[in-house]
Amino acid sequence: MLEIKNLHARIAEDGTEIIRGLDLTVKAGEVAAIMGPNGSGKSTLSYVLTGREDYEVTEGDILYNGESILEMDVSERAASGIFLAFQYPVEIPGVATMQFLKVAMNEQRKARGEDELSTPDFIRKVKEAAAELKIDMDMLKRPLNVGFSGGEKKRAEILQMALLEPNLCILDETDSGLDIDALKIVADGVNALRSPDRAIVVITHYQRLLDYIVPDSVHVLYKGRVIESGQKELALELEKNGYANIIEKAA
């Protein structure tokens, strides 16, 4: 589903290269965990995949379902089924959460040539998905993410993911700022979306999240490249020994 080939990317503003020859393949149905020390390029990778204009791809390619997405803009990529759960979801005063959800769902449906959702259908879908994630409907009456706690923000991200039904989900440090109960709820929400035709990329610092979202593969990112790939045991090893051994081995 996702093939990243020799990807090089830099910050558009000052030309600093962050991703330096990254290769990664994630198949449909697979949950891939990306781990790595601070500054290894994890969040940058999530932005480059979603097409954020602050970053420039200078070399290599990103193939999604076999086709390059480099020419697609942020909203086109999202409408084609790429979803980023933000590490820090932004608060947008004045935009009602429900209205935002409806516009997003309908814009994506429109881009795929489907009919818009009727209001009762929309509300039913939101209610169902919100109940799964233990989200109070009152929370959704507030402006988008405004005044949400850290946990509420992350649950709202997963709610959006559930409603938009993407093919490729990228979770950027979804575990940060979550207490253990919230972590379980969020992980259950993600696990519910595991399916043979969906790929999930989990970016995380810690093994903890991977106890709940068990990955099929684990990749270590360092200085903008994948320096080691393995199965879920790799994450446990990292938790025990840190990154030093692997970095040394790769050098």
Partner 1 sequence: MNVQSKKPITAAEQSLLDRYAERRKERQGNASLTALRDGLVHEFDQTGLPGRRIETWHYTDLRTLLKFVPEGFSPETGASAKPLLSDAIVLSARVGGQDSAMPEGMAVSSFNELLTSANATDLLESKRPDDFIGRVNSIFVDGGSVIDVSKGVKLEKPVELQNAASGGHLHTRMSVNIGDGAEGTFIERQIATDTADSFVSSITDLTVGKSAVVTWIISQERGDTDTHLGQINIRLGEDARLMLFIANAGGHLVRQEVHVTADGENSDFALRGVNLLGGDSHTDITMEYDHLVANCVSTETIRNVVFDRARGVFQGQIRVAQIAQKTDAKMACNTLLLSDEGEFFSKPELEIFADDVQCGHGATVADIDENHLFYLKARGISDSKARAMLVNAFISEIVEDLENEDLVEAFEQRFSEWLTRHA
Q: Which of 164, 193, 236, 247 binds partner 1 (CB under 8 A)?
A: 164
**Per-residue contact flags (x/-) with partner 1 for residues 137 to 156, judged by CB under 8 A:** ------x-------------
Nearest distance, CB of residue 103 and partner 1, angstroms = 6
Cβ distance to partner 1 smaller for residue 200 or 210: 200
Q: Among the candidate windows 20-28, 60-68, 97-105, 221-229, which touches partner 1 by CB under 8 A?
A: 97-105
Q: Among the candidate windows 16-24, 50-58, 60-68, 179-187, which touches partner 1 by CB under 8 A?
A: 50-58
Identify the sign of the CA torsion 41, 88, 212, 158.
negative
C-alpha–C-alpha distance, residues 106 and 208, integer Å? 35
C-alpha–C-alpha distance, residues 214 and 238, integer Å? 15
C-alpha–C-alpha distance, residues 71 and 131, integer Å? 38
Beta-sheet pairing, 55-64 with 67-68: antiparallel
How many alpha carbons fall within 13 Å on the CB side of residue 64?
23
Q: Which of 12, 111, 192, 214 binds partner 1 (CB under 8 A)?
A: 111
Contact 66, 125 (CB under 8 A): no
C-alpha–C-alpha distance, residues 13 and 10, integer Å? 9
Distances (CA, A) of 215 to 44, 53, 82, 191: 21, 30, 19, 10
| Residues binding partner 1: number (CB under 8 A) | 27
Q: Among the candidate windows 48-56, 133-141, 196-204, 222-230, which touches partner 1 by CB under 8 A?
A: 48-56
68 alpha carbon, distance to own chain's centre: 19
Residues numbered 56 to 75 that lie near partner 1 (CB under 8 A) are 73-75
Tokens for 213, please give them.
């979202």
Q: Which of 39, 93, 147, 242 binds partner 1 (CB under 8 A)?
A: 93
Q: Among the candidate windows 63-71, 100-108, 215-223, 240-248, which touches partner 1 by CB under 8 A?
A: 100-108
Does position 104 bind partner 1 by CB under 8 A?
yes
Does position 89 bind partner 1 by CB under 8 A?
yes
Nearest distance, CB of residue 250 and partner 1, angstroms = 32
C-alpha–C-alpha distance, residues 77 and 184, integer Å? 29
Binding site for partner 1 (CB under 8 A): 50, 52-54, 73-75, 78-79, 83-84, 86, 89-90, 92-95, 100, 103-104, 107-108, 111, 143, 160, 164
